[in-house]
Structure 1
Amino acid sequence: MNLKPGVGKTTSAVWLAHALHESGISPLLVDSDPASSALRWSEMAGGFPFPVVALPVGDVHRRVNDFLGNRQAVVFDAPQLEDHAHIARSIMRYAAEWIVPVTPSPIELDRMAPIGGEMGDVQSLRAEPARATVLLNRTNRPAATRTGPDADARDALTEQGFDVLSTHIPRLDLYSQSFGNPVAVKGSAYIELADELIKRQDKA
């Protein structure tokens, strides 16, 4: 989830779903963006090895279990909050883990305050609080999230009260130019992301 479009929500959702599948966890990918980017990606790639359903509706939290079957995880491609808040909030009511992909840049970090407000509003509607996390996305260098400018972004987000995932996604053509193509996640940062999220779930 994020306030704006173009921050890597679809890329993150599609690659994460593939990484979960590669890790032995069968996912359902739910495309809740009216633009249907994840569903279109699946069609262009000749299909994904797991089901993809389009549910760009404001009550997706009530409908998604009808499609779940024996799937062990649900990954949502959420629309931007600024244009489709009712859909994004419905996803947040269902999902146990909210992931906010954030590029470590000043303008992206400035948008986090209203996202935090949205999180607080939806948390009050849930029986149990969701785990809200930030995924540093399109980072500058493989080690930069701890030693360079991106480490400053991590520190700034932590100071604002956000839980920042240890895994980060480097700025690579492998990810940014993957739309519409088959996804090969083996050895990618998204395998690390899936592993971190699985461990978080087990701990919870």
Structure 2
Amino acid sequence: MKPGVGKTTSAVWLAHALCALDVPPLLVDSDPAGSALRWSELAGGFPFPVVALPVGDVHRRIDDFLGGRQAVVLDAPQLEDHARIARGVMRHADEWIVPVTPAPIELDRMAPIQAEMGEVQSLRAEPARTAVLLNRTNRRESTRTGPDADAREVLAERGFDVLDTQIARLDLYSQSFGGPVQVEDTAYMDLARELLKRREGA
């Protein structure tokens, strides 16, 4: 929901991980910049459909493209620039994953997003599950000490559910733009498994 935190990278890699786990998703690019769709074009196509829906009523249109798929991954635009579209994404998705880098300025920016999330929850028939994905961290694994652990603790104190999986700062993810995604043995496989487990327990 914020610029520069890896929204598109996270969406694309998560979609590939779900596909590798035999849950082939629909990837919905709701960002007017169209980065996820462009990525799929440059890569010669993904093994799952990608549709562009950068519209405010995206929540009303997604079902037309599902085709019986069990999962939809939505790449939301920046909330501050495209609030209507972002709200439409939030009205459809039953799991909101917010990528956050473990830096003080990024943690401070979570307050308005938390308020916005509360407003959209009030528009839904059932509340969405929400979670924070620590992204571009200093370590591969979550730890009890260090700046990543401090960020995890601050977010938890502010009422956020922080996923166990975290994504290390690796050039592998960002440099894959436009090329094939080799998702095996990456943290995104762990993320996909954690999200599927959360869904089973819901």
TM-score relative to the length of structure 2: 0.98
> Cα distance, 1:98 vs. partner?
0.3
Query: 1:171 corresponds to which residue?
Result: 169
AA at the equivalent of 1:94: H
1:8 is aligned to 2:6: yes
**Structure 2 unmatched ranges of 5 or more:** none
AA at the equivalent of 1:137: N
**Structure 1 unmatched ranges of 5 or more:** none
Residue of structure 2 aligned with 1:141, choices 118, 139, 142: 139
Query: 1:21 corresponds to which residue?
Result: 19
Once residues 54 and 127 of structure 1 are traced to their aligned partners in structure 2, the CA distance between those partners, rounded to angstroms, is: 25
Report the RMSD for the aligned CA atoms in angstroms.
Answer: 0.8
Query: 1:124 corresponds to which residue?
Result: 122
Once residues 45 and 19 of structure 1 are traced to their aligned partners in structure 2, the CA distance between those partners, rounded to angstroms, is: 16
| Match runs of 1:47-126 below 5 Å | 47-126=45-124
Once residues 143 and 16 of structure 1 are traced to their aligned partners in structure 2, the CA distance between those partners, rounded to angstroms, is: 18
Whether the aligned pair in 2 keeps the contact of 1:139 and 1:145 (CA below 8 Å) is no
Number of aligned residues: 202
- Listed one character per residue, the Cα deviations across residues 13-37 of structure 1 (whole Å, up to 9, x for unaligned) are 0000000000010100000000000
Once residues 105 and 35 of structure 2 are traced to their aligned partners in structure 1, the CA distance between those partners, rounded to angstroms, is: 24
TM-score relative to the length of structure 1: 0.97
Q: Which secondary structure state, in structure 2, belongs to the residue aligned with residue 82 of structure 1?
A: coil
